[in-house]
Structure 1
Amino acid sequence: MSHHCLYVLDQDSAKRFYTEKLGFEVRYDVAMGEGFEGSGQGFRWLTVGPPDQPDVQIILADVRMGHDEGTAEQLRGLIAKGALGACVFVTDDCHKTHRELAERGVVFLSEPAERPYGIEAVFRDDSGNWFSLTESRMSST
């Protein structure tokens, strides 16, 4: 997998969160232009990714991208209340990464805790999407 679509409430705010707080790099930030999807509004293709994983891109998508206004409004509500889980970020040291991210202003829903699979802390982005920050104890084989 090279791309993961993540719906956000505000692309500019999300761009700042993912670059300034999580330390990701902007891969693309391109206006696709009027009528690109036939909707007449166009859309912005905004992707970010971890510096050490150049083949990974997270699409920070406006909820309107590919959706009618009714569906976009439903997505806004689900995102804002944290009903959508996004993904897992793996770290070699959950306690250390938790401290570093918290110092940058990342809001955690749970502190690092022992789990059957390793140590996990859970945080939300500025839209409401939640993520697991995990130091895995499981073998990859």
Structure 2
Amino acid sequence: MTISLQYYHITVLDPEESLGFYRDTLGFEVVNDVASGGHHWVTLGIPSQPGLEIVLSDPHGGRPQADGDSLQELLVKGVLTNVVFRTDDVDATFEHVRASGAEVLQEPTDQPWGPRDCAFRDPSGNMVRFLQAQPVAQNA
């Protein structure tokens, strides 16, 4: 049996505004853009990983009003989603994303558990981390 990730939903306040971060800054490509019932979601593909996608959607899309309100409240607080992307050069990624004007949460740091990572907030307040695995030490 083989299991792989198809897509991951990221709740955002405004999918169109979030394209500036995910498409324009990070380089994802729009695969699908759908408006339905006053709501909007955008599916983005990761060019280096065909078949893996993220979906940006507003808090109320497909949900009862009260659930969407609760989700939006958590999103505005910045405690809803933590997305982690892998990169081959966390320092270059950090400089690129910082130059876009994204809010920096953590500069590149070597973590005691192994990776080097950094963190930003997307336009909706979601934490977005970029991780670079450290090379595995070879036995001499």
Q: Contact 1:6 / 1:86 at 8 angstroms: preserved in 2?
A: no
Stretches of structure 2 that go unaligned for 5 or more consecutive residues are none
After superposition, the C-alpha distances for 1:45-74 in whole angstroms (9 at most, x for unaligned) are 411122212211111011112211111111
Alignment-derived partner of residue 49 in structure 1: 45
Moved more, 44-53 or 112-121: 44-53
Q: 1:123 aligns with which of 120, 124, 129?
A: 120
Alignment-derived partner of residue 98 in structure 1: 94
**SS of 1:113 mapped into structure 2:** strand
After superposition, the C-alpha distances for 1:15-37 in whole angstroms (9 at most, x for unaligned) are 222111222111101234xxxxx
Displacement of 1:117: 2.0
**Equivalents in 2 of 1:17, 1:94: separation in Å?**
17
Q: Contact 1:117 / 1:138 at 8 angstroms: preserved in 2?
A: no
TM-score (norm 1): 0.84
Task: Kindly provide the amino acid, as one letter, of the partner of residue 70 in structure 1.
Answer: A
TM-score (norm 2): 0.85
Q: Does 1:16 align with 2:20?
A: yes
Q: Contact 1:6 / 1:61 at 8 angstroms: preserved in 2?
A: yes
Displacement of 1:42: 5.7
Q: Does 1:59 align with 2:55?
A: yes
Alignment-derived partner of residue 134 in structure 2: 137
Task: Kindly provide the amino acid, as one letter, of the partner of residue 48 in structure 1.
Answer: L
> CA RMSD, aligned part only?
1.7
Task: Kindly provide the amino acid, as one letter, of the partner of residue 109 in structure 1.
Answer: L
Displacement of 1:138: 6.9
Q: Does 1:69 align with 2:73?
A: no
Q: Percent identity?
A: 34
**Equivalents in 1 of 2:119, 2:48: separation in Å?**
22
Task: Kindly provide the amino acid, as one letter, of the partner of residue 16 in structure 1.
Answer: G
Kindly report structure 1 stretches of 4+ aligned residues shifted beyond 6 Å: none
Stretches of structure 1 that go unaligned for 5 or more consecutive residues are 33-40
Counting matched residue pairs gives 131
